[in-house]
Amino acid sequence: MSLAPNGAIRPPLFRKSFELQSKVQRRIEKARLYITAQGLYEVNINGQKVGDHVLAPGWTSYNHHLNYQTFDVTRLLQSGENIMAVEVGEGWFCTRLGFLGGKRCIYGARPALLAQLEIFWDTGDSSVIINSDCSWTTNVGPRISSEIYDGEAYNANSEISGWNVRGFDDSDWNAVDKLDFPTCQLLSSKGPPVRKMEVLGVKEVIQSPTGKKILDFGQNMVGWVRIRVQGSKGDMITLTHTEVLDEKGECATGPLRDCRAQDTLILSGEALDWEPKFTFHGFRYVQVDGWPSGEPLQSCEAVVIHNDLELTGTFTCSNQDINKLHENIRWGMKGNFLSIPTVRSTTSLIFY
């Protein structure tokens, strides 16, 4: 386990190589992947992301149950060597959460992966089962930290090219540690997953009274910023997310209390198309520090995420103020339906 300078746990990379030997007149009929994590995961098979969920498996009461997801991965497999590659972030399992300083490692101190891939041949031969066991290897990648509360720190110079496809040499990677099987109940997720639901462009680039560059996306939302940028190697970009501006026209970080709500990128000199993976922010405004001269800030986008809820009705009337109120209510629901619904009272956040 590797720690970031701020004490956060660096998201580990897990890699498994396995062979599928096809025979004459035999092909894969179906393949199912069952996967979860103590933390948050993103899984690839042969370089292709599995599913379109984000922040999976979501937040749960880890002492009582752990949700898992099931994916049909038949089309992602191939004859010969195959690679399953998973990155796991702290998520709600062991990140720093809470007001007035928060608490780290709420449910546990180590992110962990639990996965089972079941492959069936169309000839009825015995199935192939790939488990998360001690045959996997592990390392850390470019994500220095990625926390629900504080944001993501990413160093593009630490990218490991090709780690999630075949042909990569992982002989210098580390062996994984095998943890005790969870004592909580494993449950198939029943609610709609969190997905990327909308993308909003920059409405205005504001020059603050102190000379700061602030992006205004025109809407309070929950999600993150996607950027496309190229700068000199070692350049550092910092994105600070806030919901409002203060009375002086600066990003109002006071209401964040001890939450940093910052994403930090260290550039490699190559063009970078980046968005965070295991964090999210509530924001309308984003202060951008360290942006390379000559690069267009308008290329930034806000990615809106929430549970993929089914819209069952609409409302409109002749009074535009009431229409706006209804729109604001819908945006409020989008921002508060992220894995576990939240509702704000006058004194605190209540989780149910």
Give me the CATH number covering residue 251. 2.60.120.260
Q: What is the residue whose two structure tokens read 């102190």?
A: 210
pLDDT of 59 over the 70 cut: yes
Does residue 57 have a cis bond before it (omega within 30 degrees)? yes
238 and 150 housed in the same domain: no
pLDDT surpassing 80 at residue 55: yes
The pair of structure tokens assigned to 19 is 């062979």
Q: Residue 244 belongs to what domain range?
A: 196-310
Contacts of 116 (CB under 8 A, 6+ apart): 33, 34, 35, 129, 130, 131, 132
pLDDT digits (tens, 9 = 90+) for 204-227: 999 999 999 999 999 999 999 999
Residue 261 lies in a domain: yes
Same domain, 184 and 251: no
Say yes or no: 138 and 109 in one domain. Answer: yes
How far apart CA 139 and CA 175 sit, in angstroms, is: 9
Among candidate residues 126, 156, 188, the one where a domain is terminated: 188
Please give the pLDDT value at position 101.
67
Does residue 299 fall inside a structural domain?
yes
Looking at the structure of the chain, the number of domains it has is 2
Question: Residues 183, 255: one domain?
Answer: no
Burial 175-186 (b: 16+ CB within 10 A, else e): ebeeeeebeeee
Asked whether residue 332 is assigned to any structural domain, the reply reads no
Residue 329 lies in a domain: no
The domain boundary, picked from 188, 217, 234, lies at 188
DSSP codes, 168-204: ---TTSEEPPPPPPPSSEEEE--SPPEEEEEEEE--E
The answer to whether residue 318 sits within a structural domain is no
Q: Which residues pair with 242 in a beta bridge?
A: 285
Q: Are residues 18 and 117 in the same domain?
A: yes
Buried b (16+ CB within 10 A) or exposed e, 19-58: ebeeeeeeebeebebbbbbbbbbbbbbbeeebbebbbbbb
Closest CA to 305 of 339, 330, 273: 339
Same domain, 165 and 223: no
Residue where one domain finishes, among candidates 161, 188, 215: 188
- The confidence score (pLDDT) of residue 23 equals 66
Tokens read off for 332: 């409020």
Q: Please tell me whether residues 87 and 233 are part of one structural domain.
A: no
On whether both 34 and 182 belong to a single domain, the answer is: yes
- Whether 5 is in a domain gets the answer no
221 and 78 together in one domain: no
In a domain, 326, yes or no: no
What pTM value is reported for the model?
Answer: 0.91
Mean pLDDT of 278-299: 95
Is the Cβ–Cβ distance between 280 and 226 less than 8 Å? no
- Phi/psi of residue 152, nearest 5 degrees: -120, 140
Do 218 and 176 fall into the same domain?
Answer: no
Going by pLDDT thresholds of 50, 70 and 90, the confidence category of residue 343 is low
User: Is 90 exceeded by the pLDDT of residue 22?
Assistant: no
CA angle 262, 225, 89 (to 5 degrees): 65
Q: Is residue 259 located within the same domain as residue 278?
A: yes
Average pLDDT of the residues in 290-304: 94
Calculate mean pLDDT across residues 130-137: 96
Does one domain contain both 29 and 156?
Answer: yes
